[in-house]
Amino acid sequence: MPNRVFLLSPASTAGKRCQQLLHARAESELALRLRAEGAPLGEVFSFLSALYFRGKLAYARRFAAPPANAHGVLVITPDRGLVPPDVPVTLDDLRDFARVGIDANEARYAKPLREAALALSARLPRDTELVLLGSIATPKYVDVLQPAFENALRFPGEFVGRGDMSRGGLLLRAAAAGVELDYQPIDGAKRRGARPPRLTRARRT
């Protein structure tokens, strides 16, 4: 089994759920922790994105196979490159995230991500696979990451044609079942396709 590190696309900090946390009178348990000591990035993004990011994080933690002294799961952030999901963030960090667009042409996003990817590539053994759990249909992740990882950058082929909610459900089911998806190199891959059949309704237990 090859070494495998997962790269998770970020949750949006521009929506209503983020505004709920940033509101001066927010009193949820998560908002109070963000206002004080902070909360893990993965937990915060799971709240912001709900099903999709929660699915990515559960799946990545289940199947990561990092080399020694390396993180198996890293999260793409708007302004500070690749960050482990257990790193705490605060309300000030969320405000910083919200000021930066996720765009390959946005230097505040692309420069730290590019530098983090190059540094990571230099540390990892040559046989390490980097699996992107995020959109491959647009350049915002692939164009920044691929120069650093080249053919080692992969993605789940089952993502093609699916929307965010469908991907999240797919990943949660795969993680629960312990069945890993198939990965393929992004270089030369078909990034768009017909929408696959809807996932069948999960059975309640």
- Burial class for 66, CB neighbours closer than 10 Å (0-12, 13-18, 19+): middle
Query: What pLDDT was estimated at residue 205?
Result: 44
Q: Tell me the HSE value of 191 on the side-chain side, using a 13 A CA sphere.
A: 15
Distance CA 167, CA 134 (A): 9
Q: Enter the pTM of the model.
A: 0.90
- Burial class for 204, CB neighbours closer than 10 Å (0-12, 13-18, 19+): exposed
Contact of 154 with 133, CB cutoff 8 Å: no
With 80 as the cut, is the pLDDT of residue 198 above it? no
Give residue-wise pLDDT tens across range 104-148: 999 999 999 999 999 999 999 999 999 999 988 889 999 999 999
